[in-house]
């Protein structure tokens, strides 16, 4: 007797957008191509976070042309973290079982959404892309940024006491009910680490899969990410807090 294979869960792919007019069409079309190969129900949810360029007009046209693209808009810029929360709630309202987060600039391979789908089919509740497991890479990224990212993740993993090697990677997915239950508040990229801390606090075991990270093309605007002291602190306060909590919590004899 053949064992039944679990179906692929439905997947809402959230794409935060802010002033990405030069590359958003190519990014959305590449994601839609992958979504159409997904062996289950899937949709791309573009969240425009108050763009001041032509991003909204382009997204509105694409949403008219492609039924697999859903557009949500913030009238004012609310930040990366809020764009992800808006997208996750939209996925939840549409009934999607899993929600994934990916940037629109194609620096993460859209085809890796199929890796996420397979791991979701296996029942993993929280799924992280990793540049630092076998098969992962960020060779197209400048060496200084590679060194900083690797060093930061070694420290963060140690402080969290986790086997996960790429804590700060924003390409990830999880069960929609879980993601929406974690009350994240960060507006910046630090929401990635805040969410990760909440997952560990909830006893959710993350699973990693290998991915590659490339650099933005010359035509695209520069990434909003920067290694500013304030952003570094906003990232590291979560693993530091977890470490201190573990260090000073009462131990039962």
For residues 15 and 232, give the distance between their C-alpha atoms in angstroms, rounded to a whole number: 23
pLDDT at 221: 55
pLDDT at 220: 53
pLDDT at 253: 45
Q: With pLDDT > 70 as the criterion, what percentage of the chain qualifies? A: 92
Where along the chain do its domains lie? 11-217+225-246
Which portions of the chain are predicted below pLDDT 50? Answer: 1, 253
Burial of 3 (0-12, 13-18, 19+ CB in 10 A): exposed
CATH class, 11-217+225-246 region: alpha beta
pLDDT at 89: 98
pLDDT at 162: 96
Q: Would you state the structure tokens that stand for residue 150, as one six-digit string?
A: 């690797």
pLDDT at 251: 55
For residues 166 and 121, give the distance between their C-alpha atoms in angstroms, rounded to a whole number: 22
């Amino acid at each position: 007797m053949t064992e039944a294979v679990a179906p692929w869960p439905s997947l809402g792919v959230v794409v935060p957008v802010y002033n990405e007019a030069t590359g958003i069409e190519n990014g959305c079309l590449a994601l839609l191509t992958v979504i159409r190969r997904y062996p289950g129900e899937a949709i791309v949810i573009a969240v425009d976070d108050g763009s001041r360029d032509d991003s909204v007009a382009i997204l509105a046209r694409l949403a008219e042309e492609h039924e697999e693209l859903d557009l949500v808009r913030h009238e004012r810029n609310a930040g990366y973290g809020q764009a992800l929360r808006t997208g996750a709630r939209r996925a939840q309202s549409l009934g999607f079982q899993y929600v994934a987060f990916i940037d629109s600039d194609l620096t993460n391979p859209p085809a890796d959404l199929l890796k996420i789908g397979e791991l979701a089919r296996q029942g993993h509740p929280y799924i992280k892309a990793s540049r630092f497991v076998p098969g992962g890479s960020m060779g197209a990224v400048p060496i200084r940024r590679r060194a900083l990212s690797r060093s930061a993740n070694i420290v963060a993993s140690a402080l969290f006491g986790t086997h996960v090697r790429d804590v700060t990677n924003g390409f990830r997915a999880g069960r929609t009910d879980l993601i929406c239950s974690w009350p994240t508040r960060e507006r910046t990229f630090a929401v990635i680490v805040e969410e990760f801390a909440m997952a560990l606090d909830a006893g959710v075991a993350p699973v990693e899969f290998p991915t590659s990270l490339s650099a933005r093309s010359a035509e695209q605007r520069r990434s909003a990410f920067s290694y500013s002291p304030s952003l570094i602190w906003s990232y590291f306060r979560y693993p530091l807090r977890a470490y201190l909590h573990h260090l000073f919590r009462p131990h039962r004899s």
